[in-house]
Amino acid sequence: MFSFTVFGQSESYKQYSFGRKVVIVIDPGHGGTDVGKPRSKSYYKHESDLNLDIAFRLGGYLEERVNNVVVKYTRKTDRTVSLDERVEYANSVNADYFISIHCNSLAHKSYHGTQIHIQSKKFPTSHTLAKQIDQDFIRAGRKSRGIRDRNDRGHNLQVLQYTEMPGVLVECGFMSNAKEEAYLNSGKGQTYIASALFRAIRDFENKRPRPADDKRYPYYRVQIGSTSNPTADLKSKKIRNLKMKVDPHKEGKMYALLVGREYEKKVADQLAKTIRKKGFKDAYVRRFDAPKVKTATPVPEKKVEVKEAQIAVANTATPQDSTTSDKKNEKLSSLHFYRIQIMSSVDDVELNKREFKVLGYPVFLFYDEESKNAYKYQVLVGKTYSKEEAQKILSSVRQKGFPDAFIVTVLENQARKPHKQLLP
């Protein structure tokens, strides 16, 4: 048997197309040291591996059959990825949808079927997407265990609570049920589940009229205190015993310590009450509205009359003249060049690979230690002061295997030294 890979193939063979560019982040739950629900037999897979299998099948269907879609994964291997990292990644790529894949488990071994979680049934897009997935699961012969939101569960799911796009967490079946565990481990079962998810996403994106956008503002957080040294305070025993995600929010020279992110005031009030009982007596609820977009007001030009004496002084100014020096500094501070970012990574990247060598341009690896994003390594290509030349490089690297590449503008006086470099 022979396998052929075709490069540069036209996308005309694809059956469907979205009317806009759609970025979908698929999140295979658990991974690495966190296997989720362990397998019951040695020839089965742990939940983390099943989640990855189903995620790849879903992503494959989307990429093979739909034009105008970009599929990204929070992990592609069996590695540990924190909830914070999953949320930060989905938000950083401006995803249009977030699909988290999981398998269920209960003490009652007779339970079987699928269940879909969302943040709130008051979020029109997420709720309608969840209903579409539920319908397609039923058409595929799966038993529906319904759609649950934060109020149904009585608690939040962090990957739905903090992501900024419509999202669902899908429980594909119960590993605690012997028959269903076998189904989840089978090629047929995974195909049915992934194809149902694919059809639901495809049909939902092309649905007209579209549901209203999820209303994520205002939201409410509970402030438990403030500090000038968040690094030290977050390590305190009192905060660690809280066992909640605590975010330092800079306000002037101080940091507000915030927990929770609720979309209903009554839920935030209850959270504040619970936190006060845990020793934070001054905890209170804060409201966060959508950030206002500031528009610059154009300043009318002023006509300045220049006298002959002033011209004479200007013409005789020496190179050391402070005004000239200021202008030079101002020009230097605005000088910039362009590079093309082709990828980012959580782990170190080896540049001495064919995929980088064939690009024909210098390749640089930068490491951003201070970044809050988990993807601290960035791979960039080339260096040019011409925007036109940057566009040519961008087109070239996209054709050579990096379709998500984009142009980065770098100020000359803020340029960083590369961690590694590959010079052709």
Edge-to-edge strand list for the sheet holding 420-422: 406-411, 336-345, 377-384, 363-367, 420-422
Q: Determine the Cα–Cα distance for residues 337 and 411; give it in Å rounded to an integer.
A: 7
> Which of 316, 333, 397 has the alpha carbon at shortest distance from 363?
397
- pLDDT in the model for residue 13: 63
Token digits of residue 333: 């501070």
Residue given tokens 């699909």 in the structure block: 99
CB of 195 closer than 8 Å to CB of 128: no
CATH class of 14-205: alpha beta
Q: Which residues contact 193 (CB under 8 A, 6 or more apart)?
A: 54, 57, 114, 137, 140, 142, 172, 173, 184
CA 62, 63, 66: angle at the middle one, nearest 5?
Answer: 65
Beta pairing, strands 66-73 & 219-227: unpaired
Token digits of residue 287: 């409201």
Per-position DSSP letters for 373-397, written without gaps between them: SS--EEEEEEEES-HHHHHHHHHHH
Positive or negative torsion for Cα 309, 315, 321, 323: positive
User: Which ranges in the chain are annotated with CATH 3.30.70.1070?
Assistant: 219-288, 334-422
Element (H, E) at 251: strand 246-251
- pLDDT in the model for residue 369: 80
CB of 162 closer than 8 Å to CB of 95: no
- pLDDT in the model for residue 4: 35
Dihedral pair phi/psi, residue 305, rounded to 5°: -85, 125
CB of 125 closer than 8 Å to CB of 214: yes
Instruction: Tell me the Ramachandran region of residue 346: left when phi exceeds 0, alpha when psi lies from -120 to 50, beta otherwise.
Output: alpha
Q: Determine the Cα–Cα distance for residues 57 and 77; give it in Å rounded to an integer.
A: 14
Residue given tokens 């649905």 in the structure block: 207
CB of 258 closer than 8 Å to CB of 221: yes
Q: Determine the Cα–Cα distance for residues 180 and 110; give it in Å rounded to an integer.
A: 10
CB of 285 closer than 8 Å to CB of 265: yes
CATH topology assigned to domain 219-288: Alpha-Beta Plaits (3.30.70)
- CA-based R_g, the chain, Å: 27
User: Which ranges in the chain are annotated with CATH 3.40.630.40?
Assistant: 14-205
CB of 242 closer than 8 Å to CB of 259: yes
Query: Helix axis angle, 47-65 relative to 187-205, nearest 10°?
Result: 50
pTM of the model: 0.68
The answer as to CATH 3.40.50.10280 being correct for domain 334-422 is no
> Which of 349, 352, 354, 353 has the alpha carbon at shortest distance from 365?
349
Q: Mean pLDDT per 10-residue run, the chain (424 residues)? A: 37 82 98 97 97 96 95 96 96 97 96 97 98 98 97 96 97 98 97 97 95 94 92 90 91 92 95 94 93 63 49 43 52 72 86 89 88 80 88 90 85 84 86
Q: Determine the Cα–Cα distance for residues 29 and 31; give it in Å rounded to an integer.
A: 7
